[in-house]
Amino acid sequence: MRAWLSLRNARLYHWLREHSELGVGVLLLLIGVLVLTDALTMDVDLTQRGPIGPRTVPVVVGTGLVVVAVLLAVDVLRGGRGEAEGGEDIDLSEPGDWRTVLLLAGVFLAGAVLIGPLGFPLAGALLFWGSAYALGSRHHDRDPLIAAVLSLVTYVVFNNLLGVPLPGGPLMGVL
Protein backbone atom coordinates (compact mmCIF):
# COMPACT_ATOMS: atom_id res chain seq x y z
CA MET A 1 0.00 0.00 0.00
CA ARG A 2 2.77 2.41 0.93
CA ALA A 3 4.66 1.68 -2.28
CA TRP A 4 1.50 2.33 -4.30
CA LEU A 5 0.98 5.71 -2.61
CA SER A 6 4.61 6.58 -3.18
CA LEU A 7 4.31 5.65 -6.87
CA ARG A 8 1.07 7.60 -7.16
CA ASN A 9 2.65 10.68 -5.54
CA ALA A 10 5.66 10.38 -7.83
CA ARG A 11 3.40 10.25 -10.90
CA LEU A 12 1.37 13.23 -9.69
CA TYR A 13 4.57 15.17 -8.97
CA HIS A 14 5.93 14.33 -12.43
CA TRP A 15 2.64 15.32 -14.11
CA LEU A 16 2.53 18.61 -12.21
CA ARG A 17 6.16 19.29 -13.05
CA GLU A 18 5.51 18.65 -16.74
CA HIS A 19 2.45 20.94 -16.68
CA SER A 20 3.78 23.69 -14.43
CA GLU A 21 2.48 26.36 -16.79
CA LEU A 22 -0.99 25.51 -15.47
CA GLY A 23 0.01 27.30 -12.28
CA VAL A 24 0.42 30.51 -14.26
CA GLY A 25 -2.96 29.89 -15.85
CA VAL A 26 -4.60 29.40 -12.45
CA LEU A 27 -2.96 32.57 -11.14
CA LEU A 28 -4.14 34.57 -14.18
CA LEU A 29 -7.64 33.15 -13.79
CA LEU A 30 -7.80 34.08 -10.10
CA ILE A 31 -6.56 37.61 -10.76
CA GLY A 32 -9.00 37.99 -13.69
CA VAL A 33 -11.95 36.82 -11.57
CA LEU A 34 -10.88 39.14 -8.76
CA VAL A 35 -10.64 42.13 -11.13
CA LEU A 36 -14.01 41.31 -12.72
CA THR A 37 -15.69 40.83 -9.35
CA ASP A 38 -14.29 44.10 -8.08
CA ALA A 39 -15.28 45.98 -11.24
CA LEU A 40 -18.80 44.59 -11.42
CA THR A 41 -19.53 45.26 -7.75
CA MET A 42 -18.20 48.81 -7.96
CA ASP A 43 -20.70 51.37 -6.67
CA VAL A 44 -21.00 53.89 -9.50
CA ASP A 45 -23.37 56.82 -9.50
CA LEU A 46 -24.81 57.19 -13.00
CA THR A 47 -24.53 60.99 -12.82
CA GLN A 48 -20.78 60.84 -12.09
CA ARG A 49 -19.66 58.67 -14.94
CA GLY A 50 -18.85 59.76 -18.46
CA PRO A 51 -19.69 57.96 -21.67
CA ILE A 52 -17.39 55.04 -20.85
CA GLY A 53 -17.42 54.91 -17.05
CA PRO A 54 -15.00 53.67 -14.41
CA ARG A 55 -15.92 49.99 -14.88
CA THR A 56 -14.87 49.74 -18.51
CA VAL A 57 -11.10 49.31 -18.18
CA PRO A 58 -11.23 46.83 -15.26
CA VAL A 59 -13.86 44.75 -17.08
CA VAL A 60 -11.75 44.68 -20.25
CA VAL A 61 -8.57 43.79 -18.31
CA GLY A 62 -10.34 41.16 -16.19
CA THR A 63 -11.96 39.57 -19.24
CA GLY A 64 -8.61 39.55 -21.03
CA LEU A 65 -6.96 37.84 -18.07
CA VAL A 66 -9.65 35.14 -17.94
CA VAL A 67 -9.45 34.54 -21.70
CA VAL A 68 -5.65 34.30 -21.63
CA ALA A 69 -5.82 31.92 -18.65
CA VAL A 70 -8.23 29.61 -20.45
CA LEU A 71 -6.22 29.69 -23.69
CA LEU A 72 -3.00 28.96 -21.78
CA ALA A 73 -4.59 26.03 -19.94
CA VAL A 74 -5.95 24.56 -23.19
CA ASP A 75 -2.54 24.92 -24.84
CA VAL A 76 -0.71 23.29 -21.92
CA LEU A 77 -3.18 20.40 -21.71
CA ARG A 78 -2.76 19.82 -25.46
CA GLY A 79 0.99 19.44 -24.96
CA GLY A 80 2.21 22.96 -25.57
CA ARG A 81 5.28 24.03 -23.64
CA GLY A 82 6.98 27.33 -23.19
CA GLU A 83 10.46 27.43 -24.61
CA ALA A 84 13.40 29.24 -23.09
CA GLU A 85 14.74 32.08 -25.16
CA GLY A 86 17.70 31.22 -27.36
CA GLY A 87 19.84 33.90 -25.72
CA GLU A 88 18.88 32.91 -22.19
CA ASP A 89 22.01 32.95 -20.06
CA ILE A 90 20.61 31.44 -16.88
CA ASP A 91 21.00 27.93 -15.58
CA LEU A 92 17.50 26.56 -14.99
CA SER A 93 18.88 23.82 -12.77
CA GLU A 94 20.02 26.41 -10.20
CA PRO A 95 17.57 27.27 -7.42
CA GLY A 96 15.79 30.61 -7.37
CA ASP A 97 17.19 33.59 -5.52
CA TRP A 98 14.75 33.63 -2.61
CA ARG A 99 16.63 36.40 -0.81
CA THR A 100 15.88 38.83 -3.63
CA VAL A 101 12.27 37.66 -3.90
CA LEU A 102 11.71 38.08 -0.15
CA LEU A 103 13.44 41.48 -0.09
CA LEU A 104 11.24 42.71 -2.96
CA ALA A 105 8.10 41.34 -1.31
CA GLY A 106 9.07 43.09 1.94
CA VAL A 107 9.74 46.37 0.14
CA PHE A 108 6.36 46.23 -1.65
CA LEU A 109 4.56 45.37 1.58
CA ALA A 110 6.33 48.20 3.41
CA GLY A 111 5.39 50.59 0.61
CA ALA A 112 1.74 49.56 0.84
CA VAL A 113 1.72 49.99 4.62
CA LEU A 114 3.61 53.30 4.65
CA ILE A 115 1.78 55.09 1.83
CA GLY A 116 -1.03 56.15 4.19
CA PRO A 117 0.98 57.66 7.05
CA LEU A 118 3.98 58.90 5.02
CA GLY A 119 2.26 59.77 1.75
CA PHE A 120 3.27 58.75 -1.75
CA PRO A 121 6.42 60.88 -2.12
CA LEU A 122 8.17 59.36 0.90
CA ALA A 123 6.72 55.84 0.60
CA GLY A 124 7.43 55.85 -3.14
CA ALA A 125 11.02 56.92 -2.59
CA LEU A 126 11.48 54.09 -0.09
CA LEU A 127 9.83 51.69 -2.55
CA PHE A 128 12.06 52.72 -5.45
CA TRP A 129 15.24 52.74 -3.36
CA GLY A 130 14.40 49.42 -1.66
CA SER A 131 13.64 47.78 -5.01
CA ALA A 132 16.96 48.95 -6.46
CA TYR A 133 18.77 47.64 -3.37
CA ALA A 134 16.94 44.28 -3.49
CA LEU A 135 17.85 43.90 -7.16
CA GLY A 136 21.53 44.43 -6.45
CA SER A 137 22.34 48.13 -6.79
CA ARG A 138 24.83 49.22 -4.15
CA HIS A 139 25.22 52.92 -5.04
CA HIS A 140 24.27 54.21 -1.59
CA ASP A 141 24.91 57.83 -2.52
CA ARG A 142 23.09 57.89 -5.85
CA ASP A 143 20.14 55.48 -5.41
CA PRO A 144 18.22 57.40 -2.69
CA LEU A 145 18.51 60.62 -4.72
CA ILE A 146 17.24 58.95 -7.89
CA ALA A 147 14.43 57.30 -5.90
CA ALA A 148 13.38 60.64 -4.38
CA VAL A 149 13.35 62.41 -7.76
CA LEU A 150 11.48 59.55 -9.42
CA SER A 151 8.91 59.47 -6.61
CA LEU A 152 8.35 63.24 -6.70
CA VAL A 153 8.01 63.28 -10.48
CA THR A 154 5.52 60.40 -10.31
CA TYR A 155 3.56 62.20 -7.59
CA VAL A 156 3.40 65.47 -9.56
CA VAL A 157 2.42 63.75 -12.82
CA PHE A 158 -0.37 61.73 -11.24
CA ASN A 159 -1.61 64.33 -8.77
CA ASN A 160 -1.30 67.53 -10.80
CA LEU A 161 -1.29 66.52 -14.46
CA LEU A 162 -3.53 63.45 -14.55
CA GLY A 163 -5.81 64.48 -11.70
CA VAL A 164 -5.32 61.21 -9.81
CA PRO A 165 -5.06 62.22 -6.16
CA LEU A 166 -2.24 60.48 -4.31
CA PRO A 167 -1.73 60.86 -0.57
CA GLY A 168 0.85 63.55 0.09
CA GLY A 169 1.40 62.77 3.76
CA PRO A 170 3.52 65.24 5.75
CA LEU A 171 4.69 66.84 2.49
CA MET A 172 1.12 67.76 1.46
CA GLY A 173 1.54 71.43 2.40
CA VAL A 174 4.98 71.65 0.78
CA LEU A 175 4.09 70.09 -2.58
State the helix-helix crossing angle for 98-118 and 120-134, rounded to 10 degrees: 170
Which residues have CB under 8 Å from 114's CB, separation 6+? Answer: 122, 123, 126
What is the biggest distance separating any 2 CA atoms in the chain, rounded to whole angstroms?
72
Question: Of 74, 63, 73, which is closest to residue 25 (Cα–Cα)?
Answer: 73
Q: Is the dihedral of CA 156, 161, 162, 163 positive or negative?
A: positive
Over the chain (175 residues), the average pLDDT of each successive run of 10 is 59 72 90 93 67 80 96 87 65 80 95 93 94 92 94 89 83 71
Which residues have CB under 8 Å from 69's CB, separation 6+? Answer: 25, 26, 28, 29, 32
